[in-house]
């Protein structure tokens, strides 16, 4: 995995955006990545010229059926028009670390209004 992450960070045209985040908790390792598009992610994962495909094949040959390592993979396709991430008392994380952030007050005090829908209800929390 480290070789792949270095390759992706050095070659931004491959499609990775922002800096991958790695989290460790006990025996669990999570690597969180954002990509320009699903097409670029799929192209990278299948490319014979990239570090991923040979490493994936070696990994599968060694541990696929021995139960020593589990794999969790999640791909979420999002539309910019329907994404909201809220942060409270913490540094930018996740999607906002890649795309940037604006104070919620600039967009409205409810998720519905920030996502571009008419919201006639009072905000759950008043601005301070």
42-82 tens-digit pLDDT:
999 999 999 999 998 888 888 877 878 877 777 888 766 66
Same domain, residue pair 42 and 15: yes
Number of domains within the chain: 2
Same domain, residue pair 20 and 58: yes
Determine, yes or no, domain membership for 71. no
Determine, yes or no, domain membership for 100. yes
> Rounded distance, CA 37 to CA 71, Å?
22
Listed in sequence order, the residues at least 6 apart from 43 whose beta carbon sits closer than 8 Å to its beta carbon are: 15
The residue among 10, 33, 63 that closes a domain is: 63
Residue 43 belongs to domain spanning? 2-63
40 band by pLDDT with thresholds 50, 70 and 90: very high
Determine, yes or no, domain membership for 77. no
Same domain, residue pair 56 and 90: no
Mean pLDDT across the chain? 80
């Amino acid at each position: 995995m480290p070789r792949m992450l270095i390759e992706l960070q050095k070659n931004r045209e491959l499609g990775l955006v922002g800096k991958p985040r790695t989290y460790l908790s006990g025996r669990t390792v999570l690597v969180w990545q954002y990509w320009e598009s699903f097409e670029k992610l799929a192209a990278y994962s299948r490319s014979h010229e990239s570090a991923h495909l040979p490493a994936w094949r070696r990994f599968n040959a060694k541990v696929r059926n021995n139960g020593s390592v589990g794999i969790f993979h999640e791909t979420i396709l999002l539309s910019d028009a329907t994404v909201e991430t809220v942060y409270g008392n913490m540094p930018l994380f996740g999607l906002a670390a890649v795309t940037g952030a604006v104070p919620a007050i600039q967009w409205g005090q409810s998720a519905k209004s920030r996502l571009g829908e008419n919201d006639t209800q009072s905000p759950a929390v008043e601005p301070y």
